Amino acid sequence: MLTTKEIKRLSDYLSGIFVTKEEFNELLLEVRQTLTAVDGYAKQMKDFNEEFIATKYKVYDTMEPWIEKAAIKIDVDYEP
C-alpha cells in the first residue's frame, strides 16, 4: 500500500506530465491558429512568386526588342 507521501509525489509527477482537457483544447487551438497563419504566409509567398514571374516575363518581353536593337547598334552578337 502506498503512503500519503508517495501518493503526493505520484500526484505531483502525474500533474507535471499530463494536461487537463481544457489545457489540451487551448493548446490545440493555438496549434490550429499557428497552422492557419503558416498556410496564409505560404499562400502569400506563392502569390508573390507568381506575380514576380509574370512581371519578370513582361519586363523581358518589353526589353528584348530594345536589347536586340542596342546590340546591333554597338555591333555586339546577342543571342536571347
Q: What is the pLDDT of residues 55-66, one digit of tens each?
A: 988 888 888 888
Q: How far is CA 41 from CA 19, 48, 54, in A?
A: 30, 10, 20
Could you report the per-residue pLDDT of 2-23, keeping only the tens digit for each?
899 999 999 889 888 888 899 9
> How does the average pLDDT of the chain come out, rounded?
90
0.95 exceeded by the pTM? no
pLDDT for 52: 93
**1: pLDDT strictly greater than 90:** no
Instruction: Give me the mean pLDDT over the 22-49 stretch.
Output: 92
Yes or no: say if 48 and 40 are a contact pair by the CB < 8 Å rule.
Answer: no
State the Cα–Cα distance between residues 35 and 55, nearest whole angstrom. 30
The grid coordinates listed for 19 are: 494536461
